[in-house]
Structure 1
Amino acid sequence: MERKNFLRSLIIGAASAPVFLDACKKDSSDSTASTETVSNTGSSSASNSCTVAPTETEGPFPTKAPASYVRSDITDGRSGYKTTVKITINSTSTCAALANTMVDIWHCDAEGNYSEYGGSGMQSTNYTSVHFLRGRQTTDANGVVTFTTIFPGWYSGRATHIHVHVYNSSGTSLKVTQIAFPEGTGSAVAIVNGYGKGLTGYTYNKSDNVFSDDSTGIEIATVTGSIAAGFELTKLINV
């Protein structure tokens, strides 16, 4: 997927200095932003169904060697607001949890950059030699994997999102999809506010070329928490 006008967005973002937290520490600030809790979450009706998750593109920045990054903490030194990601994998045929299923996730950092890529027109900052915000876990008996990461930033042309690739225990691909975030007043996206970059020029889900056709909100996760306490994202993905 092309990241149009990405260089322009970096220039705009540089004009306002974002304030980051250490990914593993809470913010002790008394500011309203740090204590404001999320007031809107994802679509519970979509999450409770056995509807198969939409198949989406891996994008232009998939993990190059996902089997090399079996880990639950994927922050890898990146600064940002701590976020716990809990994904449940279910079978659409039985609506039951799928144990021993491999789940890869990856997303951009607070500034909108991906590891393992860069130095080109699509991403000027060169992160080809590092591997932050990428990881693999195997689902437990309840079909659940848990990752510790940071809240993703945003870049021009895309809404805030996380990429997911699910494989069975033999390594056969079952689903490539993406996770969207709730938006609007009181949402985590609004509270994080682009890490100080703001949301001017932000592409909302309804205009995003991946999520715009998601009329039922099946791709939208539930997100709770605050900057001070950390955020928690939960998502059911049926494959």
Structure 2
Amino acid sequence: MDKHTNQLETDLHTLMQAAASRRQMLRWMSVGGAATLLGCGGGSDASTATSTSSSTGTNTNTGTTTGTTSTSPASCSIIPEETAGPYPGDGTNSNGISIANALALSGIVRSDIRSSIAGASGVAAGVPLTIKLQLVNTRSSCASLAGYAIYLWHCDRDGNYSMYSSGVTAENYLRGVQETDSSGNVSFTTIFPGCYAGRIPHVHFEVYPSSSKISSANNKLKTSQFTFPMATLNEAYQATGYSNSVRNLSQITYATDNVFSDGTSLQMVNVTGNATLGYVVTLTVGISV
């Protein structure tokens, strides 16, 4: 009897030790598993947060901005020098009546360029467009250039230029100046330009050392142009008011355009949005100063 009792006690003790060991092992597994999960999840969340905070764009379904960026690009090149064309409005030529100089107008330093200013009352209609440019220095590791002035202009949806074209010589809409912020950024609110015969749709701009230097075109540092992807052009011109642009666009290509025939890699904007809600386009503009 005592022998059986002792054996039973021994067996019970062994079972209890085994159970305790099993519980301890489960605890270790649980802690280790949780640590592993926390490590993966934390890394993923941190990566996502970093990506989100540095992204830029507009949700093409809602038109809402998804983020902004103020960092300079890792690499950049000097944007090509291009002609200002016959309709610069910077005081360098005449519109057939007088010297056309939008830069001398009160209120020309502005972000929204859809309306005329200085006593003129015209408003340019068309698909909404936001243009965002970042000015960087190619001689200084693409550092942002703050305090510079960018004068920007383009035609309306009918292909006419304010201050020059018949019927709109008294208007000065779709022309404006913005000074770059601490990150080299400027933003213009405008309308999508039309396509007139003989040219791929484009936007002109000049870069000045500051807004106080725009009084003379002799002070400009760079004159250039940029354009839009063909898919965006085809989509935008399905909107009301752009029927002439559809025809004109069908008769021109980047290769046959007198400005972009040598390439568009540094002058092609990135695009988000659509013709219903409007577009947001971005471009890094490299200059050497």
Quick check: 1:126 aligned with 2:167?
Answer: yes
Aligned with residue 134 of structure 2, among 85, 88, 100: 88
Question: Does structure 1 conserve the Cα–Cα contact (< 8 Å) formed by 2:102 and 2:172?
Answer: no
Q: Identify the residue that residue 10 of structure 1 maps to in structure 2.
A: none
TM-superposition CA deviations, 1:174-205 (whole Å, max 9, x none):
1000011111xxx2201122712353342222
From the CA coordinates, give the structure whose radius of gyration is larger: 2
Q: State percent identity of aligned pairs.
A: 41
Give the AA of the match of 1:221.
V
The unaligned stretches of length 5 or more in structure 1 are 1-34, 38-46, 119-124
Question: Does structure 1 conserve the Cα–Cα contact (< 8 Å) formed by 2:163 and 2:169?
Answer: yes
Secondary structure at 1:212 match in 2: helix
Give the AA of the match of 2:286.
N
Question: Does structure 2 conserve the Cα–Cα contact (< 8 Å) formed by 1:188 and 1:224?
Answer: no
Deviation for aligned residue 1:48: 5.9
Give the AA of the match of 1:130.
E
TM-superposition CA deviations, 1:74-118 (whole Å, max 9, x none):
011111000000011101101111000000100000000000013
Higher helix fraction: Structure 1 or Structure 2? Answer: 2
Deviation for aligned residue 1:53: 0.5
Normalising by structure 1, we get a TM-score of 0.73
Q: Identify the residue that residue 202 of structure 2 maps to in structure 1.
A: 161
Deviation for aligned residue 1:67: 4.6
Q: Identify the residue that residue 152 of structure 2 maps to in structure 1.
A: 105
Q: How many residue pairs end up in the alignment?
A: 187
Give the AA of the match of 1:152.
P
Aligned with residue 174 of structure 1, among 215, 218, 221: 221
Distance in 1 (CA, whole Å) between partners of 2:234 and 2:198 is 17
Normalising by structure 2, we get a TM-score of 0.61
Q: Identify the residue that residue 102 of structure 2 maps to in structure 1.
A: 65
Aligned with residue 74 of structure 1, among 88, 113, 126: 113
Q: How does 1:217-228 map to 2 (within 5 A)?
A: 217-228=265-276
Distance in 2 (CA, whole Å) between partners of 1:220 and 1:232 is 13
Aligned with residue 145 of structure 1, among 149, 168, 186: 186
Question: Does structure 2 conserve the Cα–Cα contact (< 8 Å) formed by 1:67 and 1:136?
Answer: no
